[in-house]
C-alpha cells in the first residue's frame, strides 16, 4: 500500500491512530518471528561449525560474544538514534544487513569471515528491534501489554523454530544451505516496507495531532525511576546471561554427557526455546492477574534451582 493511500486511510479512520491497529500488530509479530528465527540459526549451527572447522569451545564463545555485542549491546545506541532521528524504513534496511550476513556465513571458510558474518547479522537485529518495538507501541492504541505480547510471542516463536529448521535443513545439507534462509530475510524485508509506510504516515499524523501527556508520572521522582530502571536492567542482564549460555552450549552438553546425535540435540534446543515462547504468553497472563513485579522476580529466581540441578540429573529431567 502506498504512503498516500495509508495517509488517507489514517485521516478517515480514527482507529488507525487512536485505536488498536491489529493488522499492524500482526505484521509486527510476523516480522519479529522471521527476524528472530534467522537469529536463532546461529547458535543452532555451532555443532556443525565446530565439527567442520575443529573450533575450540573458546572460539565458539567468541562467536557468541561478537554476535551478542552487535545484536544486543548495540541496541540501546541504535534505539537512541532512532528516537532522535526516526527512520521508518530502517526495519527493511536492518533486514538487508541480516540477509548479507546470512550469505557471508553460508560460504565463510575462515574464522574471521564467520565473525564478520555473525556481527552483520547481529547488527541487522539491533537496527530492527528498537524501531519495531516503537511501531508496536504506536499501534497498540493504549493496549500496550497486548501489543507487546503479540510482538514478543512472534519473536520467541521464531527463536524456537530456528533450531528445528537447522536440524531439518542445515544438518543434512551442510553450511551452504544456510543461504536458503535468505528467502525468509527477503520476505521479512518486503513485509517491513509495509510497516515503514504505516510508521511514516503515523509520524506525520502525530506531528499534526500531538497528544496531551501533562501530569503523567509527575508523582514519581527521577531517583525512583532510575532505580527501577537499574533493577530491571540488572534482572534482564542476569536472565539473558544464563539463557544465552544455555542456548550456546546446550547442544554440546547433551552430546558430550548423554551421547545424543547432533540432530537430537537441536530438537532438544527447540524444546527449550519453545518453552521460552510459552512462558512469555503465560507470564503475560499471570502478570495481569497476580502483578507484574511478582512474575518478574519468580521468572528469574524460580528458574535458579532448575538451572543448578541440570548438570546432576538424567536426560529426562534435563
Residue 30 belongs to a domain with what CATH number?
1.20.1250.20
pTM of the model: 0.74
207, three cell numbers: 506531528
Q: What is the dihedral of CA 259, 261, 264, 269, to 10 degrees?
A: 70
173 located within any domain:
yes
Q: What is the pLDDT of residues 102-126, one digit of tens each?
A: 999 999 999 999 999 999 999 998 9
120 located within any domain:
yes
Range of the structural domain that residue 154 is part of: 3-210+221-312
pLDDT at residue 103, rounded to an integer: 93
Range 205-227 burial, b when 16+ CB lie within 10 A, else e: beeeeeeeeeeeeeeeeeeeeee
Q: What is the pLDDT of residues 141-191, one digit of tens each?
A: 877 777 877 888 888 888 888 888 888 888 888 889 999 998 999 999 999
215 located within any domain:
no
Q: What is the pLDDT of residues 52-102, one digit of tens each?
A: 999 998 999 899 899 988 988 888 888 888 888 888 888 888 899 999 999
Torsion sign (Cα): 275, 276, 282, 283: positive
pLDDT at residue 277, rounded to an integer: 76
202, three cell numbers: 503515523
pLDDT at residue 218, rounded to an integer: 61
State how many domains the chain has: 1
317 located within any domain:
no
Mean pLDDT of the chain: 83
277 located within any domain:
yes
Amino acid at each position: 500500500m502506498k504512503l498516500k493511500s495509508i495517509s488517507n486511510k489514517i485521516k478517515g479512520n480514527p482507529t488507525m491512530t487512536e485505536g488498536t491497529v491489529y493488522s499492524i500488530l500482526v505484521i509486527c509479530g510476523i516480522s519479529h518471528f522471521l527476524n528472530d528465527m534467522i537469529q536463532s540459526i546461529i547458535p543452532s549451527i555451532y555443532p556443525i561449525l565446530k565439527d567442520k572447522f575443529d573450533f575450540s569451545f573458546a572460539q565458539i564463545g567468541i562467536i557468541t560474544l561478537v554476535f551478542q555485542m552487535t545484536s544486543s549491546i548495540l541496541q540501546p545506541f541504535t534505539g537512541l538514534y532512532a528516537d532522535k532521528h526516526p527512520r521508518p524504513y530502517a526495519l527493511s534496511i536492518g533486514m538487508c544487513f541480516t540477509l548479507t550476513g546470512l550469505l557471508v556465513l553460508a560460504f565463510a571458510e575462515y574464522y574471521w569471515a564467520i565473525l564478520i558474518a555473525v556481527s552483520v547479522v547481529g547488527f541487522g537485529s539491533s537496527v530492527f528491534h528498537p524501531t519495531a518495538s516503537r511501531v508496536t507501541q504506536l499501534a497498540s492504541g493504549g493496549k500496550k501489554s497486548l501489543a507487546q505480547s503479540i510482538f514478543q510471542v512472534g519473536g520467541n516463536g521464531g527463536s524456537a523454530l530456528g533450531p528445528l529448521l537447522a536440524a531439518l535443513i542445515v544438518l543434512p545439507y551442510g553450511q551452504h544451505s544456510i543461504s536458503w534462509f535468505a528467502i525468509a530475510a527477503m520476505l521479512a524485508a518486503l513485509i517491513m516496507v509495509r510497516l515503514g509506510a504505516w510508521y511514516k504516515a503515523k509520524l506525520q499524523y502525530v506531528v499534526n495531532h500531538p497528544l496531551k501527556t501533562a501530569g503523567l508520572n509527575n508523582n514519581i521522582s527521577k531517583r525512583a525511576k532510575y532505580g527501577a530502571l537499574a533493577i530491571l536492567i540488572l534482572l534482564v542482564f542476569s536472565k539473558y546471561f544464563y539463557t544465552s549460555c544455555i542456548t550456546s552450549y546446550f547442544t554440546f552438553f547433551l552430546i558430550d554427557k548423554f551421547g545424543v546425535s547432533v540432530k537430537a540435540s537441536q530438537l532438544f534446543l527447540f524444546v527449550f526455546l519453545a518453552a521460552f515462547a510459552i512462558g512469555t504468553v503465560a507470564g503475560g497472563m499471570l502478570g495481569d492477574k497476580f502483578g507484574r513485579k511478582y512474575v518478574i522476580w519468580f521468572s528469574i529466581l524460580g528458574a535458579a534451582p532448575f538451572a543448578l540441578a541440570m548438570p546432576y540429573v538424567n536426560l529426562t529431567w534435563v
